Structure 1
Amino acid sequence: MSEIDKRNRLSEEPFTYQTTKKGTVAIYYKGKQIKIIKDSEAERLIARIKQVEDNLIEVQLLLAKITGNFKRGNEKKIGKSKRK
């Protein structure tokens, strides 16, 4: 078992990406756009994805790493009131 994905979440393929004609990369998590990569960073990401495109887990890991640690469990719930 990989130490990086202990809960085997990346095998569910939660991340997808889309490249544009301008060379930007939009990254989606479970269908919701979470980040847009531009310029040289987008070029590096596309090149790296092409290197590992045969391994879906590696692609998922690249997308997860570039988005950063955006899911920490402390996101605000919409529609819930705060208690004091």
Structure 2
Amino acid sequence: MPRPQGFTYDERADGTVVITHRGRAAGTLRGGRAEKFLAEVVSGDAQLVMARWTGAYKFGNERLARSHPRNSGRR
């Protein structure tokens, strides 16, 4: 799996955290979730943490898997 990239986050004065991916808003966190996110981002790989929190961590093989013979009957 390729390493996630292009994520940034912005802490706002009201405690809200906005996560962006390549300049577009990918998620907004408030309250306890924002605090938990900030603690996790500092202690781990920031790009991977932001990708996981926004749900944008599946890249690469989704289109290929759809056309695989074992998945031909599923749509």
Query: Normalising TM by the smaller chain, what interval?
Result: 0.5 to 0.7
TM-score by length of 2: 0.67
Q: Give the aligned partner of residue 39 of structure 1.
A: 31
Question: Quick one: structure 1 residues 70 and 62, their matched pair in 2 at CA, closer, same or farther if it must change by over 3 Å?
Answer: closer
What is the percentage of aligned positions where both structures have the same residue? 28
Q: Give the aligned partner of residue 54 of structure 2.
A: 67
Local SS of the residue matching 1:66: helix
Amino acid in the other structure paired with 1:7:
P
Local SS of the residue matching 2:13: coil
Note the residue ranges of structure 1 that are not aligned, 5 or more in a row.
1-5, 53-57, 74-84
Q: Give the aligned partner of residue 69 of structure 2.
A: none
Q: Give the aligned partner of residue 3 of structure 1.
A: none
Tell me: higher relative CO, structure 1 or 2? Use CA pairs within 8 A at least 6 residues apart: 2
| Post-superposition offset of 1:51 | 2.1
Local SS of the residue matching 1:63: helix
Note the residue ranges of structure 2 that are not aligned, 5 or more in a row.
63-75
Aligned residues, how many? 61
1:30 aligns with 2:22: yes
Question: Quick one: structure 1 residues 30 and 44, their matched pair in 2 at CA, closer, same or farther if it must change by over 3 Å?
Answer: same
Q: Provide the aligned C-alpha RMSD in A.
A: 2.3
Identify which of 1, 7, 22 aligns with 2:2: 7
